Structure 1
């Protein structure tokens, strides 16, 4: 349908996720990352609560993340072998890693569910901004997203990890994935 990034609509319709393990340098520089995160902050936010925040994990802290993952894996699967290779790949892949935390304001009149949806929208805006700057991004969750030990490395008990966002340059051509058929997901309310 759209094959270039020359218009906003074609930009949005050509964004797709890349595999973090296939991302290569360069990632966004400091100014580009600031732009990407600033675009993320323009997400709809009922009540102007900013019920989310970002933690950038620089390359020199990836070994520490790998240790946190190993500790969490060891506790969760006591007695089992820790998958060192999987933890290493999760922690070390892609030039840029951002942890997005959902931090709902509990005493607000805005339902927590709306605040959590805003955190998800932040993740999507970040991926769109990365794409607009010529990078590829990916939003991963998985077991580490729901592990309290991993969460505590970045935040507190009133927060949840909304996702690990990986950004870099594509190391190979991105493949299009199957998309839902329009008529299967769109209906007219009668």
Structure 2
């Protein structure tokens, strides 16, 4: 699959099973993320890879956070089960720092580019995934359990694995609806 084909046919898949990326394939995914645009070379990203027992730990964090928020029993159960949608989750964290020339928003956008690059690298190597956030990404209990610093932000949970189904192609969009041309 060439790069243009990969990018214009990008799609997420939410039905994933083992195996998850590992070894050189996982290294490629991480390295693709590390090549994201990065104004000033701040590398404002960190990763937590959860698989096996790590998914159980993440499940406990999600469950406790839902319970602490007073969510309904069905929602606590949904939160408890969320990490088991895939055999691997990479939590991508924007490690924001105060910088005189590089706004926090640029650091956050850079971390978002990391997630996209990692998902594309997974797909290019025969895996797939889905980028999720939801309330989990903004919850103080989860941030504390993951030992994030005060200014850190969870940009997303990248669920990765082997597609269980043929993932639906995304709808084609008409570029004219999104482009304004400024010709001379």
Scaled by the length of structure 1, the TM-score of the pair is 0.89
Provide the C-alpha distance between the structure 1 equivalents of 2:143 and 2:23, rounded to a whole number of angstroms.
25
Contact 1:68 1:153 in 2 (8 A): yes
Equivalences for residues 110-149 of structure 1 within 5 A: 110-149=102-141
Task: Report the 3-state secondary structure (helix = DSSP H, G, I; strand = E; otherwise coil) of the residue aligned with 1:164.
Answer: strand
Contact 1:73 1:82 in 2 (8 A): no
Runs of 4+ in structure 1 displaced over 6 angstroms?
Answer: none
Provide the C-alpha distance between the structure 1 equivalents of 2:179 and 2:49, rounded to a whole number of angstroms.
37
**2:149 aligned partner:** 156
Equivalences for residues 28-177 of structure 1 within 5 A: 28-77=21-70, 80-81=72-73, 83-154=75-146, 155-177=148-170
Q: Are residues 1:12 and 2:45 paired? A: no
Residue segments in structure 2 that go unaligned for 5+ positions in a row: none
RMSD: 1.6
**Structure 1 range deviating more: 176-185 or 150-159:** 176-185
Scaled by the length of structure 2, the TM-score of the pair is 0.92
- Deviation digits for residues 59-100 of structure 1 (CA, Å, limit 9, x no counterpart): 11212111111111111127x436343123311121111000
Residue segments in structure 1 that go unaligned for 5+ positions in a row: none
Provide the C-alpha distance between the structure 1 equivalents of 2:45 and 2:85, rounded to a whole number of angstroms.
24
**Structure 1 range deviating more: 58-67 or 124-133:** 58-67
Provide the C-alpha distance between the structure 2 equivalents of 1:184 and 1:148, rounded to a whole number of angstroms.
38
